[in-house]
Amino acid sequence: MVLTDAHCHLGSRQFDENRDEIVSRMIENGVEKAILICCSRHDRLASIALRDRYPGFKLACSIHPQDLEDDDPQRLTDLKEALVECRADMIGETGLDYYSHPHTKEAQIRFFEAQLEMAAELGLPVDVHSRKASLDTLNIIKKYPVKGIIHSYSGSLEMAQLFIKQGYYIAFGASVLFPNSKKPAHVIAGMPLDRLLIETDAPYQSPIKGHTHEPADVKAIYEKICEIRGIGMNELADRVEANFDRVFINTTA
């Protein structure tokens, strides 16, 4: 049985002191496949080293929507160069964050569109960050022949179905573990299992106060989703692993 973490920042500075230990714990817990999200040169270098060592690790690079105070178009040229040079498997995370960074909305749209265009050109899937921006996200992804993942999904079942129709997978994180989170459970119960992914967003989004989230913790999210769907761990693991693998084949919509 293989578990997957469809979104983690293993290259993050927060793991500089204990990255090897974190990865060992991850592998010991069966989390053999993961998407390593890199939104800086530091993260990219640390992640390339891991990707080269672990065949189940995929590399995703991007300019994050929360990082657009500097909207110099040269950053896009540099990104494209980096994607080719490091043989990235995916562009991500890219998207729109009107919740934390409403002041850069216009630049976010421009950079999201440019990265979708790049994904179409390079034949790569995308990992999409969308906060308080569902409708704009949907309308923008409709314009590009690209597939991918909607990361850390927190929207409605109806909206999830519209993303699925565009060829996207829906990834759920630790928010399902919060005692009063009814919405993700409702979406998970109602959506097709062949479009579901599971992620930690480590080191972020820990369900436990004061604990640094790590990929090994994804197991708890799997267990909760088994409960919601009424299926066993082996079945869920196999289905989600097949979904994970499918993201990286036939990437154009």
- Residues of this chain that interact with Zn ion (CB under 5 A) are 201
Closest CB to Zn ion among residues 35, 116: 35
The CA angle 1-233-53, to the nearest 5 degrees, is 30
Q: Are 225 and 186 in contact (CB under 8 A)?
A: no
Closest CB to Zn ion among residues 199, 241: 199
Q: In the bound complex, what is the minimum distance in angstroms from residue 111's beta carbon to Zn ion?
A: 16
Q: In the bound complex, what is the minimum distance in angstroms from residue 131's beta carbon to Zn ion?
A: 11
Quote the CA–CA distance of 101 and 79 in Å, as a whole number: 21
Q: Which residues does residue 49 pair with via DSSP β-bridges, in sequence order?
A: none
Q: In the bound complex, what is the minimum distance in angstroms from residue 154's beta carbon to Zn ion?
A: 13
Alpha-carbon distance values, 57 to 97, 119, 184, 223 (Å): 26, 19, 26, 22
Task: Reply yes or no: is the peptide bond before residue 125 cis, omega within 30 of 0.
Answer: no
Closest CB to Zn ion among residues 92, 146: 92
Task: Reply yes or no: is the peptide bond before residue 203 cis, omega within 30 of 0.
Answer: yes
Quote the CA–CA distance of 94 and 196 in Å, as a whole number: 19
Closest CB to Zn ion among residues 124, 128: 128
Q: In the bound complex, what is the minimum distance in angstroms from residue 174's beta carbon to Zn ion?
A: 12
Closest CB to Zn ion among residues 94, 134: 94
Q: In the bound complex, what is the minimum distance in angstroms from residue 133's beta carbon to Zn ion?
A: 15
